[in-house]
Amino acid sequence: MGSATIFFWLQLPNVTKNYRTALTITGIVTLIATYHYIRIFNSWSEAFTVASKDGGDYTVQLTGAPFNDGYRYVDWLLTVPLLLIELILVMKLPQADTVSLSWKLGVASALMVALGYPGEIQEDLSVRWFWWCLSMIPFFYVVFTLAVGLAEATSKQPSPAAASLASAARYLTVLSWCTYPFVYMVKSVGLAGPAATMYEQVGYSLADVLAKAVFGVLIWALAAEKSAVEESGKLLPN
Amino acid sequence: MGSATIFFWLQLPNVTKNYRTALTITGIVTLIATYHYIRIFNSWSEAFTVASKDGGDYTVQLTGAPFNDGYRYVDWLLTVPLLLIELILVMKLPQADTVSLSWKLGVASALMVALGYPGEIQEDLSVRWFWWCLSMIPFFYVVFTLAVGLAEATSKQPSPAAASLASAARYLTVLSWCTYPFVYMVKSVGLAGPAATMYEQVGYSLADVLAKAVFGVLIWALAAEKSAVEESGKLLPN
């Protein structure tokens, strides 16, 4: 995540001014994630002790300190709206559409994260499902808006390469986003204990790398392609 | 590794735009390695206590905490595909070849690392050899593609100096890469205990410095040489 941030920011001079805000935000998203993953790493290390007696098999024991999953939700609350805004900005829609889409998707996605958290910290399965369902309402709104609403914007990209990158970014968002509700369900279907916690953490981490760093690379490639088209004069910047 | 990163990034303004992405990635590879070597250092320090009784000889004792060799494999999983991509980018092949080679070598090399890990954490020698053999399949594919497939690209470099640097970078990759399977075999041939662990760690660390920092210097020299040729107008940039 941290390397992705540096990569995006070092690429700022290589894109035209039109895409620098999008690329700056792309790097901020992975920076915020870097910070929270360091906190998650430390919280994880403090919650478990791995040791072997007499050089035999290693065993894992709880230290009593809690593993704090709240860092993920604070991270998502900040990064998920920013992720959507970077996608909207790189599309370079008319100003009014950019502002209205950023507000709608930003608020809906923050709501989605906020509604997921009360369920995540519950052991009661029916309460977990209740918050999962509530959270899925803004989730579907965002995914639907991306899959359908931005299709038109994709078709207006200035070159076939740009259109195919924009399309890939949209679909990667939908695909990586759909991972989260399934990972959330790991504990809701009654799995518990160390294995469930491990699957959940691995699942969320993989989805985060896809949704932030890999997605960011697509945003950068799209910005670079559109900058090249603009600079070659095939299309004048708006 | 960390110093190499800073060197590569400070050199960014001294190469033309064509080679900045390659040089940025070169610095990211050594940055990711810096991070993991700090983690390896800390894990090593936590796993062993060195102390002397009565001011006599020092003895090493296990603390019970595991030395986590997983950091190396996570490092390689990220840096090995990036290393190959920086080599491909600095060659400046046609766009379609760059994309297809990056995908093929990137995926094959990640597979190579992933297939090596299950054997590395095994004590059973036959299981170690099984994963070693599986991992060697993508290994040979990558090395063969580099040694043969990129030979043509090397001959098309814009100056004799550039051709000889490109050739050196290719052969350094093959040479440093061939170190890893031999180091892996240290424990597979039945060596065990502190000496085997030490030889393994020293071997991997030396190979990493060659494959990342020294290799990066060649990539930088090649980018600088090609930039000079382009700027002198002997060859127009695409």
Is residue A170 within a helix (H) or strand (E), and if so which, with residue range?
helix A160-188
Count Cβ atoms below 10 Å from residue B173 Cβ, excluding itself. 22
**CB of A80 within 8 A of CB of A113?**
yes
Q: What single DSSP character describes residue A53? A: S
CATH match of A2-48+67-231 with 1.20.1070.10: yes
Which residues, numbered 56 to 85 in chain A, qualify as contacts with chain B under a Cβ-Cβ cut-off of 8 Å? Answer: 58
Distance CA A173, CA A178 (A): 8
Contact check, Cβ <8 Å, A3/B64: no
Q: What single DSSP character describes residue A146? A: I
- Among the listed ranges A82-91, B52-61, B206-215, which one has the minimum average pLDDT value? B52-61
Q: Compute the average pLDDT of residues A63-87.
A: 93
Contact check, Cβ <8 Å, A51/B65: yes
pLDDT of residue A117 exceeding 90, the answer is yes
pLDDT of residue A2 exceeding 90, the answer is yes
Q: Compute the average pLDDT of residues A84-108.
A: 92
Percent with pLDDT over 90 in chain A: 56
Q: Compute the average pLDDT of residues B213-221.
A: 95
Closest C-alpha to A121, from A200, A178, A9: A200
- Which residue of chain B has the CA closest to A3? B28
Give the minimum alpha-carbon distance from B9 to chain A in angstroms, rounded to a whole number.
9
Is residue A49 within a helix (H) or strand (E), and if so which, with residue range?
strand A48-52
The two structure tokens encoding residue B43: 């894990």
Give the minimum alpha-carbon distance from A223 to chain B in angstroms, rounded to a whole number.
14
Q: Compute the average pLDDT of residues B39-46.
A: 93
The two structure tokens encoding residue B50: 């060195």
Percent with pLDDT over 90 in chain B: 54
Between A30 and B189, residue with greater pLDDT: A30
The two structure tokens encoding residue B102: 């990056």
pLDDT of residue A92 exceeding 70, the answer is yes
**CB of B185 within 8 A of CB of B203?**
no
Contact check, Cβ <8 Å, B25/A14: no
Q: What single DSSP character describes residue B236? A: -
- Among the listed ranges A116-120, A201-205, B54-58, which one has the minimum average pLDDT value? B54-58
pLDDT of residue A238 exceeding 50, the answer is no
> Length of chain B in residues, anyone?
238
pLDDT of residue A235 exceeding 80, the answer is no
Closest C-alpha to A14, from A167, A187, A225, A236: A225
ipTM: 0.85
Tell me phi and psi for residue B18, to 5 degrees: -55, -30
The number of angstroms, rounded, from the C-alpha of B204 to the middle of its chain's C-alpha atoms is 10
| Rounded alpha-carbon distances, angstroms, from residue B118 to A195, B121, B125, B130, B134 | 19, 6, 12, 10, 11
Long-range CB contact pairs, B233-237, < 8 A, 24+ = B234/B158, B234/B159, B235/B158, B237/B16, B237/B18
A96-120 core/surface letters (b: 16 or more CB in 10 A; e: else): eeeeebbebbbebbbbbbbbbbebb
Count Cβ atoms below 10 Å from residue A5 Cβ, excluding itself. 21
Give the minimum alpha-carbon distance from B65 to chain A in angstroms, rounded to a whole number.
5
Task: State the Cα angle at B36 between B31 and B40, rounded to 5°.
Answer: 145
Residues of chain B with Cβ-Cβ distance to A50 below 8 Å are 65-66
Tell whether A202 is within 8 A of chain B (Cβ). Answer: no
- Which of A9, A10, A214, A232 to mutate to probe the B interface, most B CBs <10 Å? A10
Q: Compute the average pLDDT of residues B78-90.
A: 94
Class of domain B2-231: mainly alpha
Residue whose token pair is 């809690």: A66
- Which residue of chain A has the CA closest to B16? A14
Residues of chain A with Cβ-Cβ distance to B32 below 8 Å are 3
Distance CA B118, CA B139 (A): 16
> Which residues, other chains included, contact A193 with Cβ-Cβ below 8 Å and sequence gap of 6+?
none
Alpha helices in chain B (DSSP H): 2-10, 20-47, 70-91, 95-120, 125-144, 151-155, 160-188, 193-208, 215-231
Contact check, Cβ <8 Å, A11/B24: yes
Query: A-B interface: how many C-beta pairs under 8 angstroms?
Result: 33
**Residue-averaged pLDDT of chain B:** 89
Q: Compute the average pLDDT of residues A95-100.
A: 92
Which of A3, A6, A52 lies at the smallest CB-CB distance from B64? Answer: A52
Residues of chain B with Cβ-Cβ distance to A6 below 8 Å are 24, 27-28, 31
Q: Compute the average pLDDT of residues B110-129.
A: 91
Tell whether A6 is within 8 A of chain B (Cβ). Answer: yes
Which of B17, B28, B66 lies at the smallest CB-CB distance from A3? Answer: B28
CA dihedral A210, A212, A213, A217 (to 10 degrees): 100
Between A15 and A148, residue with greater pLDDT: A15
Contact check, Cβ <8 Å, B9/A11: no
**CB of B12 within 8 A of CB of A10?**
yes
- Which of B11, B24, B102 to mutate to probe the A interface, most A CBs <10 Å? B24
Is residue B237 very low, low, confident or very high in pLDDT (cuts 50, 70, 90)? low
- Which of B6, B16, B28 to mutate to probe the A interface, most A CBs <10 Å? B28
Tell whether A16 is within 8 A of chain B (Cβ). Answer: no
Residues of chain A with Cβ-Cβ distance to B64 below 8 Å are 51-53
Distance CA A220, CA A7 (A): 9
Is residue A55 very low, low, confident or very high in pLDDT (cuts 50, 70, 90)? low
Long-range CB contact pairs, B97-103, < 8 A, 24+ = B101/B145, B101/B149
Contact check, Cβ <8 Å, B20/A3: no
Between B190 and A25, residue with greater pLDDT: A25
Sign of CA dihedral A85, A87, A90, A94: negative
- Which residue of chain A has the CA closest to B82? A3
**Residue-averaged pLDDT of chain A:** 89
Task: State the Cα angle at A122 between A117 and A123, rounded to 5°.
Answer: 150
Domain boundaries, chain A: 2-48+67-231
Residues of chain A with Cβ-Cβ distance to B35 below 8 Å are 2
Residues of chain A with Cβ-Cβ distance to B62 below 8 Å are 52, 55
Residues of chain B with Cβ-Cβ distance to A53 below 8 Å are 64
Tell me phi and psi for residue A189, to 5 degrees: -85, 10
Q: What pLDDT shows up at residue B236?
A: 52
Tell me phi and psi for residue A50, to 5 degrees: -110, 125
Q: What pLDDT shows up at residue A115?
A: 95
Between B180 and A29, residue with greater pLDDT: A29
pLDDT of residue A207 exceeding 70, the answer is yes
Number of H helices, E strands in chain A: 9, 2
Closest C-alpha to B84, from B129, B16, B29, B6: B29
pLDDT of residue B156 exceeding 80, the answer is yes
> Which residues, other chains included, contact A81 with Cβ-Cβ below 8 Å and sequence gap of 6+?
A105, A106, A107, A109, A110
